[in-house]
A and B are shown apart, each in its own frame.
Chain A
Amino acid sequence: MSFDIPENLYYTESHEWVDPETGKIGITDYAQDELGDIVFVEFPGVGDHLETDDELGVVESIKAVSDIYAPVSGEVTAVNEALEGEPELLNDDPYGEGWLVELDLDSTDEVESLLTPEEYESQL
Chain B
Amino acid sequence: MALRTPPLHAVHETRGASFTDFGGWEMPVEFDSINEEHEAVRTAAGIFDVSHMGEITVTGPDATELMNRLTTNDVAALEPGEAQYAAITDEEGIIIDDTVVYRLPDSLPEGTPGAGADYLFIPNAGHDAQMHERWTAHREQWDLDADVTNQTDEYGIVAVQGPDAEDLVAAAAGEAARDLGRFSAEAMTIAEVPAWVARTGYTGEDGYEIVVPMDEMEPVWAAFDCQPCGLGARDTLRLEYGLLLSGQDFNPEENPRTPLEAGIGFAVDLDTDFVGRDALAAQQESGVEQVFTGFVLEERGVPRHGYSITDEDGAEIGAVTSGTMSPTLREPIGLGYVDEGRAEDGETVFISIRDEGKRAVVRTPPFIGENQ
Contact = CB atoms under 8 A, between A and B. Distances in A.
B197 interface: no
B35 A37 contact: yes
Contacts of B300: 40, 42, 84
B302 A60 contact: yes
A84 B302 CA distance: 13
A62 B34 contact: yes
A39 B327 CA distance: 9
B301 A63 contact: no
B325 A39 contact: yes
A36 B232 contact: yes
A65 interface: yes
B33 interface: yes
B30 interface: yes
Q: Please report whether the interface of chain A is mostly helix, strand, loop or mixed according to DSSP.
A: strand
A46 interface: no
B211 to A, nearest CB: 28
A58 B34 contact: no
B37 to A, nearest CB: 10
B29 interface: yes
A100 B302 CA distance: 18
B315 to A, nearest CB: 25
A58 B354 CA distance: 10
Interface centre among A62, A65, A84 (most CB of B within 10 A): A62
Contacts, number: 35
B73 interface: no
Interface string B108-137: 000000000000000000000000000000
Contact of A40 (B33, B34, B236, B325): B325
Interface string A52-91: 0000001010110100000000000000000010000000
B29 A62 contact: no
B304 A62 contact: no
Contact of B327 (A40, A58, A62, A65): A62
Contact of A62 (B301, B325, B354): B325
Interface in A11-47: 36-37, 39-40, 42
Interface string B9-34: 00000000000000000000110011
Interface centre among B300, B325, B327, B354 (most CB of A within 10 A): B325
Contacts of B304: 65
B29 A37 contact: no
A5 B300 CA distance: 31
Contacts of A58: 354
B227 interface: no
Nearest to B233: A62
Interface in B83-107: none
Interface string B315-340: 00000000011010000100000000
Contacts of A63: 29-30, 34, 232
A52 to B, nearest CB: 21
B269 to A, nearest CB: 37
Interface in B290-328: 300-302, 304, 324-325, 327
Contacts of A37: 33-35, 327
Nearest to A61: B34
Contacts of A36: 30, 33-34, 232
Contacts of A39: 302, 325
A47 B332 CA distance: 29
B33 to A, nearest CB: 5
A36 B28 CA distance: 14
22 contacts: A36-B33, A36-B34, A37-B34, A37-B35, A37-B327, A39-B325, A40-B300, A40-B301, A40-B302, A40-B325, A40-B332, A42-B301, A60-B302, A60-B325, A62-B34, A62-B236, A62-B325, A62-B327, A63-B30, A63-B34, A63-B232, A65-B304
> A-B pairs with the 3 shortest C-beta distances?
A39-B325, A37-B35, A62-B34
